[in-house]
Amino acid sequence: MLMSIAQRIDVPRNELVYSKGEDAHFIYNIVEGVAKTYQLQAEGDKCVTAFLFSHDLMGLSHRGLYVSTARALTSLSAFRIPVVRLKEILEQDARLCAGLLHKLCDKLQCFQHHVIMLSKRSASARIASFLLQIEQADVDSVAGDGEIILPMNRQDIASYAGLSVEAVSRSLHSLESEGAIMRRGPHRVCILDREKLRRLAKVC
């Protein structure tokens, strides 16, 4: 039933999906690709609030308006679902309602992880936590040898982790020196010792 109201759309890399303050007529279920959501601060800086992967929902709204801006980090395919029609279907289908609730609970858990990550004083702990979160969130980006593909740039990571770009670079170098990871370029990281990375992520 849901597929009857959903339209599959393709969004080129770096293109906007929607902007903060626009009427929230749709939610989006990502099929392939990666997106980010962010808000512009008063001084013009971007505050990255989430990275979204395949099977994630995006389109969070308040009082009918999108609360953030969404942009494709890679080529993106998603099902665009009209909010009004979705509400009608949810009132009729309890199983679909339960499935949607499960997805929202998963996303709430990601938000909780983000808050916990930002509470850590150690920059290396924040980046270790970030890498573990990306590994868990984006199964498609993890190769058999533990390599993680990071489509976001250092500035996006810094904004999401509440750090400077320089602190992100130093933290990655520190994690590599500890033997927890190995960098394979600006967008590829191989996890060498997952348990060590987990221990480093728990540092306050």
pLDDT (tens digit per residue) in 41-89: 877 788 999 999 998 999 989 999 999 999 999 999 999 999 988 877 7
- Residue 162 confidence (pLDDT): 95
pLDDT grade for 138, boundaries at 50, 70 and 90: low
Give me the phi and psi of 31, to 5 degrees please.
Answer: -95, -50
pLDDT tens across 151-182, in order?
A: 999 999 999 999 999 999 999 999 999 999 99
Question: What global pTM score does this model have?
Answer: 0.86
Q: Which residues make Cβ contacts (< 8 Å) with residue 56, sequence separation at least 6?
A: 29, 30, 103, 107, 137
- Residue 8 confidence (pLDDT): 96
Q: Taking 70 as the threshold, does the pLDDT of residue 144 lie above it?
A: no
Tell me the domain boundaries of the chain. 2-96, 120-201
CB atoms within 10 A of CB 139: 10
Same fold, 2-96 and 120-201: no
Which CATH architecture fits 120-201? Answer: Orthogonal Bundle (1.10)
Which fold does the domain 2-96 belong to in CATH?
Jelly Rolls (2.60.120)
Average pLDDT over residues 121-131: 94
